[in-house]
Amino acid sequence: MEITDVNIYLVNGEKLKAYATVIFDDAFVVRDMKIIHGNNGLFVAMPNKKTKDGTFRDVAHPLNKEMRKLIEESVLNHYRSQVEM
């Protein structure tokens, strides 16, 4: 699976820095990934929704470490490039 496009939407939040949309193989899109500045630096949070009991559950997420790393590196590189502009 290949990431074919990443779009970054900057936010002026203290912890929330941006939203990302990622397109895979020019055929599948995942919207509303969040770029968050946490205690250990930037990370990518997958899109989620609030459940009836008040907890949050990811609606899309990678199934292995390799895919998570690919997504996170790509999204954060695009984010850094956009911030530098």
Determine contact, residues 63/70, Cβ cutoff 8 Å. no
Q: What are phi and psi of 47, to 5 degrees?
A: -60, 140
Span 15-20, mean pLDDT?
Answer: 96
- 3-84: CATH topology is Arylsulfatase, C-terminal domain (3.30.1120)
**Domain coordinates of the chain in residue numbers?**
3-84
pTM given for the model: 0.89
Q: How confident is the model at residue 8 (pLDDT cuts 50, 70, 90)?
A: very high
CA distance readout (Å), 50 to 12, 23, 56, 60, 81? 23, 24, 4, 13, 31
- Predicted pLDDT of residue 13: 87
Residue 25 contacts residue 1 (beta carbons within 8 Å): yes
Condensed to tens digits (0 to 9), the pLDDT of residues 48-73 reads 999 999 999 999 999 999 999 999 99
Closest alpha carbon to 31 in 52, 47, 51 = 47
As a whole number of angstroms, the distance between CA 82 and CA 59 comes to 26
